[in-house]
Amino acid sequence: MSLYIIDYEDSISVMQEDFSLNGHLKAKMIIDRDYRLAEINKRIFGSFIEHIGRAVYGGIYDPDHPTADSEGFRKDVIELVKELHPPIIRYPGGNFVSGYNWEDGVGLRKNRKEKLDLAWQTLESNQIGLNEFVRWAKLVDSEVMMAVNLGTRGVDSARELVEYCNHDSGSYWSDLRISHGNRHPHNIRTWCLGNEMDGDWQIGHKTAEEYGRLAQEAAKVMKMVDPGIELVVCGSTNNLTDTFPDWEATVLTHTYDQVEYISLHSYYANSDNDTMNFYAKTLNMDSVIKSVTATCDHIKAKKRSKKTINISFDEWNVWYHSIEETSKIEPWTSRQHYFEENYDLNDAIMVGCMLITLLKNADRVRIACMAQLVNVIAPIMTEDNGRAWKQTIFYPYYHMIRYARGTVLQSVISSSKYDCREFCNVPYLEAVAVHNAGDRDDEVVVFAVNRSTEDSLVLECDMRSFGSCDVSEHIVYEDAGIPHSNGNADTDDGMMRAILGKSSWNVIRIRVDKSEYT
Ligand code: AHR
């Protein structure tokens, strides 16, 4: 490993001849074990499955597929989802939920009616409904996050759904669940009060006042049925709408005492192929999180409340490759290729930046869901009658779920910067560090992206607060194949140094000797 010294005030000097610094950018991180931001809530790495395109039918469920189990679930998909292991999965929408009658998807399959899904202009067979989805979620070891329809429906159907899912027995709806073969309650803990109700495309779209009142009453009554549930009220679809952030303020004025979270959604595109501008869009993601947090706290102050509302970032991803193709799909068909993105390395790097942004805000973002999981804007794809495989965006997401454990540290970062079309002073380095206290050794993991598409970046991390440390693995994702573990990170005297290749996603795992500080 090369040795080099970085002078941040000045320039970079090299002590070894085989190490050329031509074209290197530079960045420094101070990672201190006492600068703790938040304990990581694993639900920040959740996912989402909606009834749309081939997410459910042809994705998780395909009774004619050679790998189908006795219930029609594709076992090859189950294996990939288990490998990824998202801890929580939002269901059944999305825009779909705003026109959905949940009763259509329970009971004997042969009696279920085929209906028009107005959100995506498809035919919904209702062969998969909540009981099947709950069973599938158990197979992949994930918790279900359920959304209720506050578009065409309201308080009554929301309370009946909670009773059906969570009440033990002895009432009409709980006994109906039992008669459908589910003796034990599903005990679904987290519920979304509708979806993107601020958008005029939404079935049953409402003003903030109308939605705020409805959500308040639905929330109150749902908690009368099961006081143990927690609720997510709809925030804005994104920060570009005319009503952002007044929507949040009005809705929270009505619902503050009844809910635990407010939702936030963001999708980003590289439609004009300006990749460094694309990577910089997480500055927008960060600023939206800060604005929504500030709005929550403004209402908290107005209400003189002791309670804090956190963020459920329950839809986020890269989305743009497939929009034109999808617009050509014939309406009122089913199992069509809706929004089947073909992701490249740049998209995976952007997903890495988004995951880092979520972690950097882990004190207030307590739930987040990559949208979606299978086929539709998804890390996992399937062929009808064929294989299931991983897209590029699978990898950073997988690394985060696997290695981002313990405490997020509030790192101090200084980095070379650039200006681009939409942003100024964008740090080339996007990074975050976590401290995972193990039984024997502790581990610090640095997740880092070099946003430059031209030059590599020299990263130096001051980790002296941890005493002695040692790199155990440096995973790099830098071409659209699969990631490798041949990164160059090394440590010397409490300093960790690495050269991050252009447009690269890096996971640097560092063993620290806890006997030196405990
Ligand atoms: O995830 C796809 C769609 O994007 C969801 O249905 C909707 O909530 C969002 O606009």
CA 199, CA 240: separation in Å to the nearest integer?
A: 11
Those residues whose C-beta lies under 8 Å from the C-beta of residue 252, and which sit 6 or more positions away, are: 212, 233, 259, 262, 295, 296, 299, 309
Ligand 1, pocket-test mutation among 95, 234, 238, 369, most atoms within 8 A of CB: 95
**What are 162's two structure tokens?**
């909670």
Lookup result for tokens 């026109």: 99
Structural tokens at position 156 = 């009554």
Amino acid at 518: T
**Quick one: pLDDT at residue 97?**
98
Give the phi and the psi of residue 36 in degrees, each rounded to 5. -95, 130
Contact 234, 244 (CB under 8 A): no
Model's pTM, two decimal places?
0.94
pLDDT (0 to 100) of residue 4: 29
Q: Is the CB of 50 under 6 A from ligand 1?
A: yes
Mutate to test the pocket of ligand 1, among 91, 315, 319, 326 (most ligand atoms within 8 A of CB): 315
CB 249 within 8 A of CB 293: no
Q: What are phi and psi of 51, to 5 degrees?
A: -80, 95
Please tell me if the CB atom of residue 95 comes closer than 6 angstroms to any atom of ligand 1: yes
Q: Is 315 noted as a catalytic residue in this protein?
A: yes
Ligand 1: atom nearest CA of 95 is 6
Beta-carbon contacts of 398 under 8 Å, excluding residues fewer than 6 positions away, are 83, 84
Q: How many Å is the Cα radius of gyration of the chain?
A: 24
Ligand 1 pocket check for 196: Cβ under 6 Å: yes
Indicate if ligand 1 lies below 6 Å from the C-beta of 94: yes
Instruction: Please tell me the predicted confidence (pLDDT) of residue 448.
Output: 98
DSSP string, 359-389: HHTTTTEEEEEEE-SBSSS-SEEE-TTS-EE
Q: State the catalytic residue, choosing from 50, 124, 132, 196.
A: 196
- Closest-CA residue, ligand 1 atom 2, reads 94
Report which protein residue has its CA nearest ligand 1's atom 3. 94
- The whole-number pLDDT of residue 317 equals 98
Structural domains present in the chain: 8-39+406-516 (2.60.40.1180), 42-403 (3.20.20.80)
Per-residue pLDDT of the chain (518 residues; tens, 9 = 90+): 233 233 333 333 333 333 345 568 999 999 999 999 999 999 999 999 999 999 999 999 999 999 999 999 999 999 999 999 999 999 999 999 999 999 999 999 999 999 999 999 999 999 999 999 999 999 999 999 999 999 999 999 999 999 999 999 999 999 999 999 999 999 999 999 999 999 999 999 999 999 999 999 999 999 999 999 999 999 999 999 999 999 999 999 999 999 999 999 999 999 999 999 999 999 999 999 999 999 999 999 999 999 999 999 999 999 999 999 999 999 999 999 999 999 999 999 999 999 999 999 999 999 999 999 999 999 999 999 999 999 999 999 999 999 999 999 998 999 999 999 999 999 999 999 999 998 777 999 999 999 999 999 999 999 999 998 999 999 999 998 999 999 999 999 999 999 999 999 999 999 998 887 77
What pLDDT sits at residue 22?
56
CB atoms < 10 A from the CB of 170, how many?
Answer: 8
Q: Considering only CA atoms, which residue is closest to atom 9 of ligand 1?
A: 94
* 443 carries an active-site annotation: no
pLDDT value at residue 480? 81
Distance of CA 222 from the midpoint of ligand 1 (Å): 24
Those residues whose C-beta lies under 8 Å from the C-beta of residue 145, and which sit 6 or more positions away, are 46, 88, 89, 90, 91, 188, 190, 191, 192, 232, 314, 367, 369
Q: Report the nearest atom of ligand 1 relative to the CA of 267.
A: 4
